[in-house]
Amino acid sequence: MQEEPATRKVTASRDDDAAGQQDHHMAGRPPISMVEQAQKRKDGELWGSHCQACKYDQISPMLRCPKCASKDVVSRQFATTGQVVSYTIQTVAPEQYMNEVPYAFAIIQLDDGPRVSGWIGFINRPSDLPKGQKVAFVSSYKPGMQFEKA
C-alpha cells in the first residue's frame, strides 16, 4: 500500500495585513520557499510544488500552476530516487566541484515527481552512467542537488 505524499498548504501569507485582508498589489508567498527547500535538502528530503487542480508537479516554488493557472498549489515531498534521462560529462569544473571532476551534470526523472537537474560525481565516460540508470539523492554541503548511482 502506497502512502500519500506529504503536503502543506499555507493559509496566511506575507501579503495579508493584521486584519487578514489581502493586499492585491503584493505577489504573495509560495507554499514553500527556496530557503525552506534548501533546508529540506540538507535533511535529505526533496520538496517542491504540486497543483491540486491538475496534479502538475514542479521542483521550484510556484504561486500559480503554469499548466492550468490554478492558485490551488501546495508543497509536496518527492521521492529521492529516480532515473537518469540525459547528462553531460564535465571535465573542467568551478572551484566548489574541483575534487569531483569529472562529474556528470544530469537530468533526473524522479520516481514520483518532476524532472530535476543535479550532478553525479566521478563519471569518466558514457559507459559509467547509462541512460535509465537508477540514482538516489544525497544530502550534501555542496551547491545543487547531488545524486549517486543506486
Domain extents in the chain: 1-78, 81-149
Q: Which residues contact 99 (CB under 8 A, 6 or more apart)?
A: none
- Distances 111 to 43, 85, 92, 137 between C-alpha atoms, Å: 19, 12, 30, 12
Burial of 65 (0-12, 13-18, 19+ CB in 10 A): buried
Separation CA 33–CA 141 (nearest Å): 19
Separation CA 77–CA 61 (nearest Å): 12
Q: Global pTM?
A: 0.78
Residue range 81-149 forms a domain whose CATH class is: mainly beta
Q: Which residues of the chain have pLDDT under 70?
A: 1-27
Report the greatest alpha carbon distance in the chain: 61
pLDDT tens digits for range 7-42: 554 433 444 445 556 556 556 788 999 999 999 999
